[in-house]
Chain A
Amino acid sequence: MRCFFVAAFLGALAAGPIARAQPAAPPARYWVALADKNGVAFDPKTYFSAAARARRLRQHLPAADATDRPVRPDYLARVRAAVDTVTLVSRWFNAVAVRATPAQAAALRALPGVQKVAAWPQQPVAAAVAARRAAAHAAHSFGSETPYIGPDDYRLARRQTAALGAAAWARAGLDGRGLRIALFDVGFRGVDSHPAFAALRARRGIVATHDFLANRPDVYRGGSHGTEVLGCLAGRLPGGGDGDAAGAPGPALGLAPAADYLLARTERALRETLSEEEAWLAAAEWADREGADIINSSLAYTEQRYFPEEMNGRRSLVARAAALAARKGMLVVCAAGNDGDTDWVRIGTPADADSVLAVGGLDPETGLHLAFSSVGPSADRRVKPDVSAFGVVLSTTPGGYERLEGTSFAAPLVAGFAACAWQHNRRLTAAQLYGQLRAAGQLYPYFDYASGYGLPRAEYFLDKPPARPAGPTFDFVPTDSLVAVVVRPAAAVQPARTLPLVAELPEEGPGPPRAPDPDFPAYLYWNLADRRGVLRRYEVRAVTQRLVLQVPRRLLQPGDALRVEFKGYTATYSE
């Protein structure tokens, strides 16, 4: 032990001169808010890409607003001169993120043009990707051979898009063409070589890439979570050809195989520092400039930085950035998170932002909420998640294809759905599309905090009227102590299915026969809401008899509403 102290003493001696040569306190991160943008020259025509200008024009947004103008160069120069490192310059927030010592931070506060200097904490922890790996299904390695997809995985691959109306979108010729979708993720390892993206690469569908952590264009490193997410948008199952060889492209794993993509690396695989939120903001500004229509972010930041009661859409930098992106005409689609079965339980950020489409996960086997999928409401009691899609999918991995689970993959499935809907009606603004995506939910106007408004239906956007029941499917039967919900006889019939003469095929491709659309049993959803519309409790029940539910009337407080949904019909009972 004496050796230990000797070694420590020698170490201290050796470190002494180095320590004396450095500032007294180590540099920390600070957020420097600037006062104004007076006198800054800005030409939207040169700054924004043609696609970005077209998006704003389409949505009747101004060509630029004050948040688009760059920060004042003189302010920026003074800040650069006063600190060690500038890590982000944000024109949206008119702010600069820096690394500085406390003494430098104090000096920054005295600079002209500096409105506020706030400490910008950092916590190294586990990554925030909203993905889990389904352990039972191994990767299918590919090399020179066409990867093998088992029947169950093939069926899942078809059902994950069929549930979102792949056949209807295909019949309408909608595949995301003309839309630009930006993906913010850990990394996109293998996208530049995976056969699932051969068609995407061949048509140069990846229009821009940038690594906002290393500040370079290469995003095909750092991790494969982005590869898996992109697979749920533009990946394809093996087609007629091998590898990159020319051949019939296989069936799509997502709904937007013809969209254009912007790939941004904003997340480290094994760390979660505030620099990642800065990178997210920088990527959002980049996506805006490059003309993105949709941002998909399969990331959810939770307890390492925040408390559940802070998930109000106003606390985190990414939530505020996402809200601003939505104001600029981009639809922001975010994974709700995978903390439904942890102590956190709630959605993460930026899914908590007001105008962000938060996507929860559904079980492909039952159509019900997956236990791991984070639940709402937001801290200020808004409905979250907004909609849901399959949270267990087949997607692309650097080694081939793999069954994966997580709301990370529900989000791109819905982003692809949104791309089709927007392609169908380009006159919609982002806010209108956001509202219509919620209204397209199979449960709408019913909602709960597990599934939101449910799985979006393509029929809502297409000309064909949705297959909704003509009338009520159940009745409320109040008695002295109970309110019963009894399914009407007509709605209790379970018709036999008849095979069509010719099945509708969304696209041609090899492999086993197409799986039918998901045919989940009809569940009865009910919730109890207070006078503000905030749910007190909610349930989903199996329906094996017509008398499904009996709610004690003592649970109904004045102003409460008992809302029930069954087979597309929603009714409310109140006292």
Chain B
Amino acid sequence: MLKAGRLPARWVGLAWLLLPGAARAQQVLVRADVADDTLTNLTGPNRRYFGHLYAGAGLVAGARAPGAPVRAGFSSMEGQLGGRLKRRFTQTVAVVADVRYAYLRDGFEQTAAKTFPGAGRHRAERLAWHQVQAEIGLRLNAGRRGNTVGSYLDLLAWGGWVAATSHTTDDDPAPGGPAAVSTTETGLPYLRRWTGGVGARLGFDRYALVARRRLAGALRPGTAPAGACLPPWVLGLEIGLF
């Protein structure tokens, strides 16, 4: 082992080489800073904090009023894009907080009994909500695991602000007229601006089944025909982007 000492006389002639810039640096082929590499992470799928983006899609479900015959299937659905922060307390208990954009669309069947959104019949008709939502949830994880999200059940409560609404109808054009006739009305006065509800999410790693129920009414009292209501459930899938 060489201990630090005076510069050996035979190296004095090389001292100029050691001045900064005097010699070309030799190429580094492998490098590791162990102190940095071995820091314990506070963030990660099963660490104290975990943040990630997610995307989701769901179908509208639930009881339908004859006066507001919401179509089943892909005509009535919700798409979501959001971010989630998880704070883990134990291996089995955590809380999650989401902020997301949600686009909800309800398509309507054109029946004779339809009175909402309007009594008129069209080739197609739909209502759309552009929403900003926030959600908190209690996460219950199953089993010990490594640094993975694992299997979990989330119990959710959410609220949202309806940023924009629209009512769009498509009609058959008159002979000789334009190829299509589509009418859109925005800023609908009969839809509530605030909404909220509860839900549950059953997940495994990045995939989850989600069910949410709107508890707040979608329609402003006194502005919609009596008996009109919209299905409160959205059942769908989420994929965590991590």
Interface bracket on A: 35 or more
Is B72 an interface residue when CB atoms closer than 8 A count as contact? yes
B72 touches A1 (CB 8 A): yes
The interface stretch among B25-33, B97-105, B123-131 is B25-33
A542 touches B27 (CB 8 A): yes
Give Cα A571–Cα B24 distance, bound, in whole angstroms. 23
A541 touches B34 (CB 8 A): no
Picked from B31, B37, B146, the residue with its CB within 8 Å of the CB of A306 is B146
Q: For B38, what are the chain A residues with a Cβ–Cβ distance below 8 Å?
A: 308, 377
Picked from B7, B17, B29, B147, the residue with its CB within 8 Å of the CB of A368 is B29
Is A507 an interface residue when CB atoms closer than 8 A count as contact? no
Q: Contact flags (1/0) for A449-468 with B, using CB distance below 8 Å?
A: 11000000000000000000
Q: For A377, what are the chain B residues with a Cβ–Cβ distance below 8 Å?
A: 34, 38
Q: For B3, what are the chain A residues with a Cβ–Cβ distance below 8 Å?
A: 573-575
B32 touches A448 (CB 8 A): yes
Give Cα A84–Cα B138 distance, bound, in whole angstroms. 33
Picked from A122, A541, A542, A543, the residue with its CB within 8 Å of the CB of B143 is A122
Assess A366 versus B34: contact at CB under 8 Å? Given A571-B2, A573-B4: no
Q: For A571, what are the chain B residues with a Cβ–Cβ distance below 8 Å?
A: 1-2
Q: For A368, what are the chain B residues with a Cβ–Cβ distance below 8 Å?
A: 29-30
What are the nearest 10 A-B pairs in CB distance? A540-B30, A121-B143, A542-B27, A1-B61, A1-B72, A121-B144, A303-B147, A306-B146, A575-B4, A541-B26
Number of interface residues of B (CB under 8 A): 44
A536 touches B11 (CB 8 A): no
Q: For A543, what are the chain B residues with a Cβ–Cβ distance below 8 Å?
A: 26
A354 CB, min distance to chain B CBs, angstroms: 18
A1 touches B28 (CB 8 A): no
Q: For B32, what are the chain A residues with a Cβ–Cβ distance below 8 Å?
A: 375, 448-450, 537-539
Is B160 an interface residue when CB atoms closer than 8 A count as contact? no
A550 touches B18 (CB 8 A): yes
A542 touches B29 (CB 8 A): yes
B146 touches A307 (CB 8 A): yes
Picked from B7, B27, B148, the residue with its CB within 8 Å of the CB of A123 is B148
The interface stretch among A57-65, A328-336, A474-482 is A474-482
| Closest residue on chain A to residue B11 by CB atoms | A477
Is A289 an interface residue when CB atoms closer than 8 A count as contact? no
Give Cα A544–Cα B11 distance, bound, in whole angstroms. 20
Pull 16 A–B residue pairs with CB atoms less than 8 Å apart, ordered by A. A1-B59, A119-B143, A122-B143, A303-B147, A304-B145, A344-B147, A368-B29, A377-B34, A477-B18, A478-B7, A537-B32, A537-B33, A538-B30, A547-B23, A561-B1, A571-B1
Q: For B24, what are the chain A residues with a Cβ–Cβ distance below 8 Å?
A: 545
B2 touches A572 (CB 8 A): yes
Give Cα A545–Cα B7 distance, bound, in whole angstroms. 21
B29 touches A536 (CB 8 A): no
Picked from A307, A450, A486, A537, the residue with its CB within 8 Å of the CB of B11 is A486
Picked from A303, A369, A482, A539, the residue with its CB within 8 Å of the CB of B28 is A539
| Closest residue on chain B to residue A479 by CB atoms | B18
Q: Contact flags (1/0) for A20-42 with B, using CB distance below 8 Å?
A: 00000000100000000000000
Q: For B60, what are the chain A residues with a Cβ–Cβ distance below 8 Å?
A: 1
Give Cα A409–Cα B150 distance, bound, in whole angstroms. 31
Is A524 an interface residue when CB atoms closer than 8 A count as contact? yes
Give Cα A534–Cα B33 distance, bound, in whole angstroms. 12
| Closest residue on chain A to residue B36 by CB atoms | A537
A1 touches B62 (CB 8 A): yes
Is B15 an interface residue when CB atoms closer than 8 A count as contact? yes
| Closest residue on chain A to residue B71 by CB atoms | A1
A187 CB, min distance to chain B CBs, angstroms: 24
A302 CB, min distance to chain B CBs, angstroms: 7
**Chain A 471-497 interface residues, beta-carbon cutoff 8 Å to B:** 475-479, 482-484, 486
**Chain B 206-242 interface residues, beta-carbon cutoff 8 Å to A:** 231, 235
Q: For A534, what are the chain B residues with a Cβ–Cβ distance below 8 Å?
A: 34
Is A523 an interface residue when CB atoms closer than 8 A count as contact? yes
B66 CB, min distance to chain A CBs, angstroms: 13
Picked from B2, B14, B26, B62, the residue with its CB within 8 Å of the CB of A544 is B26
Q: For A572, what are the chain B residues with a Cβ–Cβ distance below 8 Å?
A: 1-2
B31 touches A573 (CB 8 A): no
| Closest residue on chain A to residue B231 by CB atoms | A1
B30 touches A476 (CB 8 A): no
Is B183 an interface residue when CB atoms closer than 8 A count as contact? no
**Chain A 269-320 interface residues, beta-carbon cutoff 8 Å to B:** 302-310
Is A549 an interface residue when CB atoms closer than 8 A count as contact? yes
Is A149 an interface residue when CB atoms closer than 8 A count as contact? no
| Closest residue on chain A to residue B73 by CB atoms | A1
Give Cα A380–Cα B26 distance, bound, in whole angstroms. 33
A478 touches B4 (CB 8 A): yes
Assess A574 versus B1: contact at CB under 8 Å? Given A123-B150, A477-B18: yes
Assess A536 versus B33: contact at CB under 8 Å? Given A1-B62, A547-B17, A547-B23: yes
Is A535 an interface residue when CB atoms closer than 8 A count as contact? yes
B29 touches A523 (CB 8 A): yes
Q: Find the residue from B15, B35, B38, B231 having the highest chain A CB count within 10 A.
A: B38
B27 CB, min distance to chain A CBs, angstroms: 4
Give Cα A541–Cα B30 distance, bound, in whole angstroms. 7
A369 touches B146 (CB 8 A): no
Give Cα A549–Cα B31 distance, bound, in whole angstroms. 13
A179 CB, min distance to chain B CBs, angstroms: 33
